[in-house]
Each structure stands twice: as structure tokens, then as C-alpha cells.
Amino acid sequence: MEPKELVATLDGNLEVFTGLLKVGDQSLVTWKQSEEKWSLLQIICHLVNEEKEDFRARVACTLETPGQHPPKINPAAWVEDRKYADQDFGEKVNEFIQERKRSVKYLRSHLDSDWDSFYEHEIKGPLSAKFFLKNWVVHDLLHIKQIVRLKYDYLENTDNKPIDYAGKWT
């Protein structure tokens, strides 16, 4: 896929996330399949931070200052350091929507840039702007899958009635 298509996919994914993150039952916001899994609240906090500080920052760095290393990040530590579980879900959803719109606007304004520009990662080698853009789309898909699975598991665990009438999760 070319950058134009990847950006269009990120833009379209915003609608997917917006739909998936609408919840009526507020207990779903903090429910987790297990202690080591993330809740919807933790997922949306992660998505906000990744949007601003990981993917958009890395694409911008490789496009605007090729060869320069982007700022170091530690997404795994953010969960506790930034107190994801204590955040306001609605505010974080709105923040994600605004940040994604900013990202798409930025990306569309740079479609004519050199998407092969890169910086040299000490372990992974050359990482290009297009590499980060493609992985941004993949990151979306992984979290869409995660949210769908969480919501399925929530429905399966809310009472003792089977939910296999519609089909089985495979």
C-alpha cells in the first residue's frame, strides 16, 4: 500500500474505533478478561499516547529530520506511570478522536514527502517513514481486534447463558 492508501485507512479506522468505543454499560469500561489484560479505558489511554508520542512523532521525525533518532518512549511503563486506570473514559475517547484527526491532517499534508527517508535504529536497522506509517495501520488493527475480543468476552461472562446461538468464536 502507498502512503495515500495507508492514510485513508487510518482515517477510516477512526470511525471503527468511534463505534467500538461507544458503551452503554459503564462496567464494560473497566472490565478486564484477566488481571494481566487491559480494560477499554487502558486501551484508549494507550491509543492516545501512541497516536501522539509514538507513530505521529516517528513519522514526523523521519520525514522532517531524516537520520535523526526520534525521542525514546516506554509504552509499557505508561500504563502505571500515567495512571491509565484512573483516567476519564469519555475524555480519552474524545482526545483520541481529536488526535487522530490531527494525525490525518498532518499526514495528508505530507503525502508528497520522501516516505523512504529513515533513521538508523541500533538493532532493527533503517526504519523509514513508510515503515512507521504501515505499522501504525497494523497497530490500529491489533487494537481493533483486541477491543472486539474484549467485548465478546464481556458478553460471554456477564451471565451464565450461552452466547453460541449466533455462532462460535474461532
The CATH number of the domain holding residue 90 is 1.20.120.450
Task: Give the separation between CA 130 and CA 99, rounded to whole angstroms.
Answer: 20
Q: What is the arithmetic mean of pLDDT over 136-148?
A: 98
Task: Give the list of residues 6+ apart from residue 127 with CB closer than 8 angstroms, or none.
Answer: 58, 62, 118, 119, 120, 121
Whether residue 72 lies inside any domain: the answer is: yes
pLDDT at 143: 98
Q: With pLDDT > 70 as the criterion, what percentage of the chain qualifies? A: 100
pLDDT at 161 over 90: no
Cell triple for 133: 506509517
The average pLDDT across 61-71 equals: 94
* 74 is a domain residue: yes
166 belongs to a structural domain = no
For 17, the domain range is: 3-157
Q: Is residue 165 part of a domain?
A: no
pTM (2 decimals)? 0.94
Q: Is the pLDDT of residue 29 over 90?
A: yes
Question: Within a domain: residue 168?
Answer: no
Residues 6+ apart with CB under 8 A from 102: 56
Please report whether residue 131 resides in a domain.
yes
Backbone angles phi, psi at 87, to 5 degrees: -80, 165
Domains: count for the chain? 1
Q: What is the DSSP letter of 119?
A: E
Instruction: Look up residue 149 and give its three cell numbers.
Output: 475480543
Q: Residue 168 pLDDT more than 90?
A: no
Check: CB of residue 118 under 8 Å from CB of residue 70: no
